[in-house]
Every structure is written in C-alpha cells, then in structure tokens.
Amino acid sequence: MRRLSTVVASCGHLTSPAGDAWVSVSLTFQGLKALGVPPDSLNSFPPEFQQGMAARANELGDTEENAPQNWEKPLGTPDVHVVLTALSPTDQQLEPVLERARKAYQEMQGIKAIWRQNCHASANGKEPFGFRDGISHPAVEGSGIPGTNPKEQPIKAGEFVLGYKDETGGYASIPQPEVLGRNGTYVVFRKLHQQVAAFRQYLKANSSGPEEEELLGAKMMGRWRSGAPLALCPARDNPELGADPKRNNDFLFQDADPKGFVTPPRAHIRRMNPRDTLGDRTIVNLHRMIRRGTNYGPPFPEGVLEDDGIDRGLMFAFVGAHLRRQFEFVQSEWVNSGLFIGSKDEKDPIAGANNGADRFTVPRQPVRRSLLNLPRFVVTRGGEYCFMPGIRALRWLAELDS
C-alpha cells in the first residue's frame, strides 16, 4: 500500500506520478481483512460492501445464466483482495507502468496477480453493440469540470466522495477511523459479456429493413449509434450532432415528450437517468453515478450475424459514495424492474436480465408497438465491490500490522 500510494495521482496535483498512465488502487472487503484492518473498522463499512457482489446476486439480477457459480474465476471468490487499474492513451505508455507495478509485488511474499483484464476504448468511441458510449456524466459540484448537460445542476460532491455533503443535505456513513474513510469512494467492477450477434439478429427479425433496424436500436438505447439522442433528432441519425459534446447531451425529456413517443420510457438512457421525468428532480439525483467502463475483446465484424464464440463486452465501472442507493438501486429497480415506469415486468432492453420471454414496448400513435420474446443481450461474467481509499488512507493501511 505504501508503494502504491506513491503512484496514485492526487486531486490536489492532477499530474500523474506514473507519467502518462493513471493508476488507481481499490480493495475488496476481503482485502481489507487480509491487510489486518481492525474489526471495529471493518464493521463500519456498509453491509452490502461487507457481503461482496456475489452475495448480492439476487438483488442484482445475477441469477440463472448470470449467477456467480457461472462467473469467471476468481471473480466473486474471497481470493480477490486488491484491484489495480491502470489507464493510458497507448499500450506503449502503459507497459512501463505495469512493469513497475509487477516488480513491486513480485518481490513481495504472499502477493500474487490472479486475474488480469485488458480493456480499450474503441477508435470510434463505440461499445460492442455499436453505440457511442461515455457521453452523459453528472457534473460534480466544486470539481470545476463542467457537466455534459447544461440543463442539469451539478451534483453534490458527497454523492461521489466520502466526507462531503451529499444530495440529502447530510453525509454518507463513513468507514472508521476517519483517516481511512475520508476522500474514499466505492467502485463497482462488472465484466459484462455482450451477445452482439443476438442483438443484431433481434433488430433484423423485428424490422422490415435496415432503416427500421436502426430506429428500433435507437428506441432501445434512446440514442442513435452516433450518440445523437432521439430527443433531439427523432426521425434519423445525425452523426454531426452525435459527435458534438456541446449538443449531444443538452436535453430533458418531460416537457417535449411526456409519454415517450420520441424516447420510450423503457429505453436504456431514459431508465438510467430519467432526468426530469419522475416529478421531483432530487429523487433522480439520489441515483446518479460516475461511469468509467471500457470495452474488452475484439470488435465484432460489421454485418456478421452468426456468433463467433469470442468473448467481448464492457468492463463496467461505477464510482459513487453509496453502493446501495446508487448502483444497487439502479441495477435492481431501473435495470431489472419496470415498476417505476408502470410496467413491472419490463426490464432494460439492453442491460436487463431478460430471458427470451420478456417484452419491450415502444409508445406509438395510433397504437403502441410491443416487441416480444426479448432475449438476454448482456451476461454477467463476474465482478467485485471495492473501496477506493484516498492517499492518506493508503498510508494508514500501510502502517497496519497484519
């Protein structure tokens, strides 16, 4: 932990000590235990974090195909203690940092790298289903970084970093002692396998031609492939708008489209951030998240409809101060239940645990369109709940006698 504390960048000095790479370190509950964190302190972490992601399978929709017994090992086992994440603009810049990290632990007894996942941002910024990702992010009050949606207010820092005021006007419960909890946050990693061939087949089977396929995909996502939102271009894609960060997230839903004739209430982005549609904006603000997911695996060649058996998808990463009311709430209530939009059984058409008997309804005049037999396009391959300590906390951990 002491060695790592010297390579993690500080918010106070934004330059990374690891040069052109950014390194972060986070620990599972089992990892904190193995380091010798005292019981009083361990017990001050929220119960869902103590239990770990695999134990929360029922809450998260990780059942059937998604169940922990089918996960890639060692994910979801007590053996995962520390997660190191390294990020850089190129592979060449990443390698020296990884080499340094390897040297740090190879010399140490009792530490072994047991899993590694390479990820990459695609050249066109698209995730494996073919939609531009990484567009909409909440602005964090006090960060000085402008939000992506000029129509949304910045969110209080305490929603994302422990030790600061949050949207309730109070503070998230902070792990003790204060030096350990303050400036820390929770990170959720999930390896999500995407069944790209099944997704393409479904669009094709439920459309009369390529144009309708694109429209159906956009109705499921809430955005066209270019990233252009249906809310701003309902009839066809507009790649110029999709690529323009000043315009591609500048919208709300309610006034222009209360019934969802343009962006269906069941569409992925309208579920994940209903913006102004739940009446009281403060409710939505309690369930925002910072996302830092990237692709893994090779892209699926254009036009192919048959599965090639190769694993590809999204390494989903959530960052937030409240595991339960942010990640777990969104995953259980907005991804895997449709109660909040008046249709209990309709799960998220993209990320939901659909099983072939599910439905996706597209509001339309004169009659809505109900698409049946929605298969599962995303399968959980595994994941972990982690705590990402601040730099002072890393030093505190380094002083522990294990």
Q: Considering the complex, what minimum distance in angstroms separates the CB of residue 152 from ligand HEM?
A: 9
The answer to the question of residue 134 lying near ligand HEM (CB under 6 A) is yes
Measured CA to CA, the distance from residue 51 to residue 60 in angstroms comes to 13
The answer to the question of residue 133 lying near ligand HEM (CB under 6 A) is yes
Listed ranges 7-15, 129-137, 198-206, 231-239: which one lies at the site for ligand HEM (CB under 6 A): 129-137
Residues recorded for the chain: 402
- C-alpha to C-alpha distances, 44 to 28, 174, 178, 335, nearest whole angstrom: 14, 7, 11, 29
Query: Residue 284, by phi and psi: left (phi above 0), alpha (psi -120 to 50) or beta?
Result: alpha
Q: Considering the complex, what minimum distance in angstroms separates the CB of residue 332 from ligand HEM?
A: 9
Q: Considering the complex, what minimum distance in angstroms separates the CB of residue 133 from ligand HEM?
A: 4
Nearest residue (CB) to ligand HEM, 203 versus 335: 335
Cis peptide leading into residue 38 (ω within 30°): no
- Which of the 8 DSSP states describes residue 143? S
Options 25, 218, 241, 351; binder of ligand HEM; rule CB under 6 A? 351
The answer to the question of residue 135 lying near ligand HEM (CB under 6 A) is yes
The answer to the question of residue 273 lying near ligand HEM (CB under 6 A) is yes
The answer to the question of residue 21 lying near ligand HEM (CB under 6 A) is no
Using only C-alpha atoms, the chain has a radius of gyration, in whole angstroms, of 21
Options 215, 220, 317, 378; binder of ligand HEM; rule CB under 6 A? 378
Which residues on neighbouring strands pair with residue 76, listed in sequence order? Answer: none
> Residues touching ligand HEM: how many (CB under 6 A)?
26
Options 71, 131, 253, 296; binder of ligand HEM; rule CB under 6 A? 131
The answer to the question of residue 192 lying near ligand HEM (CB under 6 A) is yes
Measured CA to CA, the distance from residue 11 to residue 264 in angstroms comes to 39
Q: Considering the complex, what minimum distance in angstroms separates the CB of residue 377 from ligand HEM?
A: 8
Q: Considering the complex, what minimum distance in angstroms separates the CB of residue 41 from ligand HEM?
A: 29
Query: Quick check: 314 and 294 in contact, CB under 8 A?
Result: yes
Q: Name the burial class of residue 199, with classes exposed (0-12), middle (13-18) and buried (19+) by CB atoms within 10 angstroms of its CB.
A: buried
Query: Quick check: 322 and 138 in contact, CB under 8 A?
Result: no
The answer to the question of residue 269 lying near ligand HEM (CB under 6 A) is yes
Quick check: helix, strand or coil at residue 368?
Answer: coil
Q: Footprint of ligand HEM on residues 205-234 (CB under 6 A)? A: 221, 223
Query: Quick check: 79 and 388 in contact, CB under 8 A?
Result: no
Q: Considering the complex, what minimum distance in angstroms separates the CB of residue 313 from ligand HEM?
A: 6
Please name the amino acid found at residue 342: G
The residue whose two tokens read 């956009």 is 218
Nearest to 191 by CA among 271, 311, 327, 348: 311
The answer to the question of residue 194 lying near ligand HEM (CB under 6 A) is yes
Quick check: helix, strand or coil at residue 176?
Answer: coil
Options 164, 189, 224, 316; binder of ligand HEM; rule CB under 6 A? 316
Q: Considering the complex, what minimum distance in angstroms separates the CB of residue 183 from ligand HEM?
A: 23
Query: Quick check: 184 and 321 in contact, CB under 8 A?
Result: no
Helix (H) / strand (E) containing 91? helix 91-106
The answer to the question of residue 268 lying near ligand HEM (CB under 6 A) is yes
Nearest residue (CB) to ligand HEM, 81 versus 193: 193
Options 136, 195, 285, 295; binder of ligand HEM; rule CB under 6 A? 136
Which positions from 278 to 297 touch ligand HEM by CB under 6 A, shown as an x/- string?
-----------x-x------
Binding interface with ligand HEM (CB under 6 A): 127, 129, 131, 133-136, 192, 194, 221, 223, 268-269, 272-273, 289, 291, 313-314, 316, 330-331, 335, 350-351, 378
